[in-house]
Structure 1
Amino acid sequence: MIVRKTAALLLLALPLGLSQSALAQAPIQYELAFPNAVHHEARVTVTFREVPAGPLQVRMARSSPGRYALHEFAKNVYDVQATDAQGKPLAVTKPDPYGWTVAGHSGTVVFTYTLFGDRTDGTYAGIDQRHAHLNAPATFAYAQGLEQRPAAVKFQLPEGWTVASQLKPEAGGTWTAPNLQYLMDSPTSLGPQQTRTWQEQGRTIELQVLHDGAPAELDAYTANTKKVVKEAAAIFGGLPEYDFGRYTFIANYLPQTSGDGMEHRNSTSLTSNRPLRGPGATDNLGTVAHEFFHSWNVERLRPQDLEPFDFQRANMSSNLWFAEGFTQYYGQLLMRRAGIQTDDQYCQQALSGVVDAMLTMPGPKRYSPVYMSQQAPFVDAAAAIDPNNRSNTYLSYYYIGAANALALDLELRQRFKTDLDTYMRALWKEHGPQQNYAPAKPYTLRDLQQVLGQVTKDTTFAGQFFRQHITGHELPNYEELLAPAGLLVRPARAGQATLAARLQFNPDSTATLGTTLLNSPLYQAGLDREDVVLKVDGRKPTNAKEMQALLAAHKPGDVLPLEYRSRGQVRTASVTLQQDNTLEVVTYEQAKRPVTKAQKKFRADWLNGKAKG
């Protein structure tokens, strides 16, 4: 790998649109080099000028926009040094695990560190000989008290690498941000990008992609992405005013990549090791649809309890059921409206999952979407080593939110002759357009209810819906709601007996249990996580195939003897098999039921594309 020689840091032009007070402040200048990329290291230099008198507090973020748990990015920072403008070393101390104190400066601090990064996804930094995929909070140190200053970033690029970022490109290969919040919301991919660019409603949309496939595969992928963009814009009546007139899909589809999607104001970070062909392309497009919808919902339609984002703590919101869950619903719906899925595929790949989870898992029967949202700091890629009971107390705000979006959309169509698209447009009109690098009018839970009352012209219904389904945990009746569209909720495996258990089959022909679900056969028989099943009906649980054969020979209600080991003690129990309660949603046509013209029209009005041209 050939690395270009270091360029001197320049006094950089500032982005347009900054206030006079910001323009008067010296920008924070960053320079990134990759002399040891083969070992996943970058060398980062940050220059703070016109620093107020007194020690400078330099920090690494502990959390990241779009993530709600703590990730402690300082753990991957080392070889920290600081000098003054003349290169004289400055005293650096560490007051806590997350930052450094630099003393003795005379107004300029040059802060340098090595960053290690070997996870390519939307949260961390992934660096190697082929590329660098950088989430900003995992990459850039910052100084307390200087958060409102503009930032300027310069990359020392290995030969053949280019930059993909929502940062504003300036002369001389510099990329700028108006303040720390925007910088931290700006992922950047460095590498031999393959670019596809087009104009949509006066905006520049671009795909900046790292992948190993053929150009024709990227062309086909771009064509489908264009359809998704058009359908998303049709829901809101147009595209947002992107801050610099450009929206960038920053896509990394290399083999070393971890699957993820992370929304940002004017871009999205897309990472997957799936290729841009076959099922992999369709799966990747699903992430494209979800994340692009976020350029409205959560980035510009923003929950008040996430503004401004605090990089030094876990950020809790009561509104992720809407911010993520409604986006989950629309991301899947966009795949159908864009013609990438058929009705049957949409039922199988989208509706069946959310309806089954909502109606069969224990969590939604116990807790509300608001409660599930508040759990995000514990579940959103949060790491912990102690066991938990979330299988019985939790359902992701993605699923519970999407399930309620589905229910509300269908109810609006049936009772009020309107739809969820209209509700989203009304919210956008009320809370979306006022932007200056950040939402000027973020919403509250009460705002969401009030706008629903305005759309339906029925504040009683809006209040009841929120009490029952959002702050409460009453389950919708999907059988009734889906019937007007000619869609049927039915058992996916009717008549089949099950243990309803997660089993890990071991080499010694035993099976270890995961957490047993509330009221499942093994739960009722007194078995719990890490219990080891020795025999079922006198037979060893050798593998999944033999266990399925054993259960297939029985029917729901049969009682089987079971031998197991629980924390060192061998025990016996009697287990009553249950009917497999997994649900699926299918079209009446697939179920061989008659479907009326009214049902076909209802379904078409809901699922067919809305984009014109």
Structure 2
Amino acid sequence: MRKSAATLLLALALPVAALAQAPVHYSVAFPNAVHHEAQVTVVFSELPSGPLQVRMARSSPGRYALHEFAKNVYDVKATDSKGKALAISRPDPYGWDVSGHDGTVRFTYTLFGDRTDGTYAGIDQVHAHLNMPATLAYGKGQEQRPAEVKFELPAGWQAATQLRPDAAKGTYYAPNMQYLMDSPTSLGPQKVRTWQQQGRTIEMAVLHEGTDAELDAYVEQTKKIVREAAAVFGELPAYDFGRYTFVANYLPQTSGDGMEHRNSTSLTSNRPLRGPGALDNLGTVSHEFFHAWNVERIRPRDLEPFDFDRANMSNSLWFAEGFTQYYGELLLRRAGIYSDEQYCQEALSGLVSALLTAPGAARYSPVQMSQQAPFVDAAAAIDPNNRSNTYLSYYYIGGANALALDLLLRQNHKTTLDAYMRAMWEQHGKEQQNYAPAKPYTLADLQRVLGQVSKDTAFAGQFFRQHILGHELPKFDELLAPAGLLVRRARAGQVALGSRLSFNSADSTASIGTPFLGSPLYQAGLDREDVLRTIDGQRLSSPKAVQELLAARKPGDVVAVEYRTRGGLRTAQLTLTEDPTLEVVPYETVQRPVTKAMKKFRADWLNGKAR
């Protein structure tokens, strides 16, 4: 295409380095895959004088804690353009400084990886599932250079990735380091299904041990989810290279996970594509695909750009992850994969019960829960904590508030959460530049757009003060009633101790976990690692025996317990309380009348929107 005069003048005004930077070349080979190793080579060229700082990422897009990927890198070497060995020093645990180069550094290392999920690298003789921050080193100061990656594939393996393929070179392209690190890649004998949706190419590349018929049925369900997600926003995103890829690994050795990326998602599970496992896997598909809008393009300002050198904290994960949690399940209902009863059981009950019964939800706001992500998002620690009583995942606290907001908008403002998400898309997601959001949002933006959509800025301010910046709990019994849905005790009349028990068969005792605030064990002064010896004079021979013992009791009963604590043997009196777990059920299942107005409200909310 011929460049205009204006384009030419702009190009002349740009620095030469911005016009044509030599790409960083990567090669990834698997000569010892059976022992979970890859050989990685990175070639940096046209470097300025001085040491090159080579680093492994400490964090990963979609994750918020530190994972220290350098720990799995060894056999590090570096040479210049003539093959001369270069001096390497370790300035910190995360990387290497290479000095004495001639403008080129050929950096090689061995990578170990044996965890197939969205965070790490999983390598064996049948596949490799690579999260790029866990796999590829990068050069400080080289982040804006394009990258070309060559995978040296064993026979029968193919690549599934959002990186742009270059068939002539046999390589894959990323425009910069941010995009490269955001591009998970699965290598193995792929089974690929491709379809067109709104002029975009959608593909699912799968490693699994099931049949083609199972995969075909799974893809048909995925197509329904894609259509319903697009209906929320009115369109699909403009994928950077015209394609969105579900990078799916459903082999027995994988760990369950889903990780969103700009033009793809990493899906891993050891559950097959049939039976209950298929439904669980589809839930991850739905959640992660919704992220193609919410968090990848509608993105919090405090996560853009992503910082690979530290933990990334955001105030808005209740929206980025929590609202996505709500929609991930809602799309399954709208796609016809869930019935109303299944949707209540699998989605609504968990959200409502978590928000109304978890001690942490009454203690901290969704914003404060979001700020906890660096400590809880697969972060490793060995010291005990009190999160049972202080924390509720931003997935659940955000998802439950999304449910409450959707119902409030429908009942009081003649609009919907769909309209709110579309408005956020139009104002803060649709416009992109340089493979990144042009207008990432703040908390103030979220409140402002809610005021616009509801046409009630006072309501928007109150909702944020009470439920997002504060921790006031929604009245779900009132909010769900217009849909003919009932909130009730899931185990009415049954008692609960208020802690997990770990049974010790050798001496018929049970160790208790952290007791929930206000529970019978907590109130009686028992704490984590105390060992229950008897309840009401009976030894704890098995979980079944304890269940039978408690089943014969009712709320308000007082039972004696003997236990061993750090201070020795003790006895206490427990006043038993009703199990606080809640559930949501349709009126039809409890023989309550369902009016025409309830049926219409429920249909308008839950029925499919795709045309």
Indicate whether the TM-score tops 0.5: yes
Equivalent AA in structure 1 for residue 331 of structure 2: L
| Number of aligned residue pairs | 595
Report deviation, 1:445. 0.2
Task: Give 1:116-515 correspondences, 5 Å limit.
Answer: 116-170=112-166, 171-436=168-433, 437-507=435-505, 508-515=507-514
Report deviation, 1:497. 1.8
Equivalent AA in structure 2 for residue 582 of structure 1: T
Find the aligned partners of 1:20 and 1:569 in 2 and give their Cα distance: 75
Residue in 2 that maps onto 1:519: 518
8 Å contact kept, 1:322–1:401: yes
Match of 1:40 among 23, 36, 49: 36
Mapped pair 1:109 → 2:105: yes
Residue in 2 that maps onto 1:73: 69
Equivalent AA in structure 2 for residue 155 of structure 1: F
Equivalent AA in structure 2 for residue 400 of structure 1: I
**Secondary structure at the counterpart of residue 548 of structure 2:** helix
Find the aligned partners of 1:570 and 1:70 in 2 and give their Cα distance: 41
Report deviation, 1:568. 5.8
Distance 1:19 1:605, change over 3 A: farther
Find the aligned partners of 2:114 and 2:254 in 1 and give their Cα distance: 10
Equivalent AA in structure 2 for residue 481 of structure 1: L
Equivalent AA in structure 2 for residue 227 of structure 1: K
Report deviation, 1:24. 1.1
8 Å contact kept, 1:324–1:397: yes
Find the aligned partners of 1:423 and 1:19 in 2 and give their Cα distance: 41
Find the aligned partners of 1:197 and 1:530 in 2 and give their Cα distance: 53
**Secondary structure at the counterpart of residue 67 of structure 1:** coil
Find the aligned partners of 1:313 and 1:581 in 2 and give their Cα distance: 39
Residue in 2 that maps onto 1:58: 54
Find the aligned partners of 1:75 and 1:534 in 2 and give their Cα distance: 43
Report deviation, 1:21. 4.2
Residue in 2 that maps onto 1:88: 84
Report deviation, 1:172. 2.3
Find the aligned partners of 1:87 and 1:565 in 2 and give their Cα distance: 67
Which range moves more in the overlay, 212-221 or 558-567?
558-567
Residue in 1 that maps onto 2:581: 582
Find the aligned partners of 2:215 and 2:204 in 1 and give their Cα distance: 9
Report deviation, 1:554. 1.1
Mapped pair 1:29 → 2:34: no
Equivalent AA in structure 2 for residue 29 of structure 1: H
Report deviation, 1:567. 2.0
Equivalent AA in structure 2 for residue 225 of structure 1: T
Which range moves more in the overlay, 560-569 or 389-398?
560-569
Report deviation, 1:581. 1.4
8 Å contact kept, 1:510–1:542: yes
Report deviation, 1:433. 1.4
Equivalent AA in structure 2 for residue 337 of structure 1: R
**Secondary structure at the counterpart of residue 406 of structure 1:** helix
**Secondary structure at the counterpart of residue 241 of structure 1:** coil
Equivalent AA in structure 2 for residue 291 of structure 1: E
Find the aligned partners of 1:348 and 1:22 in 2 and give their Cα distance: 54
Q: What are the Cα deviations for residues 550-591 of structure 1, in whole angstroms up to 9, with x where unaligned?
A: 011111111111000112611111111001111100000011
Find the aligned partners of 1:414 and 1:386 in 2 and give their Cα distance: 46
Residue in 1 that maps onto 2:600: 601
Equivalent AA in structure 2 for residue 238 of structure 1: E
8 Å contact kept, 1:533–1:562: yes
Find the aligned partners of 2:19 and 2:195 in 1 and give their Cα distance: 33
**Secondary structure at the counterpart of residue 437 of structure 2:** coil
8 Å contact kept, 1:40–1:117: yes
Find the aligned partners of 1:410 and 1:127 in 2 and give their Cα distance: 46
Q: What are the Cα deviations for residues 500-538 of structure 1, in whole angstroms up to 9, with x where unaligned?
A: 221011122100000000000000000000000000000
User: Which segments of 5 or more consecutive residues in structure 1 lack a partner in the other structure?
Assistant: 1-17
8 Å contact kept, 1:588–1:594: yes
8 Å contact kept, 1:22–1:150: no
Residue in 2 that maps onto 1:3: none
8 Å contact kept, 1:530–1:566: yes
Find the aligned partners of 2:609 and 2:430 in 1 and give their Cα distance: 22
TM-score (norm 1): 0.96
Report deviation, 1:20. 7.2
Report deviation, 1:23. 4.3
Q: What are the Cα deviations for residues 9-32 of structure 1, in whole angstroms up to 9, with x where unaligned?
A: xxxxxxxxx997444111000000
8 Å contact kept, 1:541–1:547: yes
Distance 1:462 1:20, change over 3 A: farther
Find the aligned partners of 2:430 and 2:304 in 1 and give their Cα distance: 16
Find the aligned partners of 1:478 and 1:145 in 2 and give their Cα distance: 51
8 Å contact kept, 1:304–1:444: yes
Distance 1:223 1:19, change over 3 A: farther
Aligned-residue identity in percent: 76
Q: What are the Cα deviations for residues 436-492 of structure 1, in whole angstroms up to 9, with x where unaligned?
A: 200010000000000000001110000000000000000000000000000000111
Equivalent AA in structure 2 for residue 504 of structure 1: S
**Secondary structure at the counterpart of residue 32 of structure 1:** strand
Q: What are the Cα deviations for residues 147-173 of structure 1, in whole angstroms up to 9, with x where unaligned?
A: 000000001000000000000111222
Report deviation, 1:144. 0.4
Find the aligned partners of 1:22 and 1:583 in 2 and give their Cα distance: 58
Equivalent AA in structure 1 for residue 459 of structure 2: F
**Secondary structure at the counterpart of residue 123 of structure 1:** coil
Equivalent AA in structure 2 for residue 571 of structure 1: R
Equivalent AA in structure 2 for residue 486 of structure 1: G
**Secondary structure at the counterpart of residue 30 of structure 2:** strand
Equivalent AA in structure 2 for residue 533 of structure 1: L
Find the aligned partners of 2:20 and 2:553 in 1 and give their Cα distance: 78
Find the aligned partners of 2:241 and 2:394 in 1 and give their Cα distance: 32
Find the aligned partners of 1:153 and 1:298 in 2 and give their Cα distance: 26
Residue in 2 that maps onto 1:592: 591
Find the aligned partners of 1:195 and 1:510 in 2 and give their Cα distance: 52
Report deviation, 1:432. 1.0
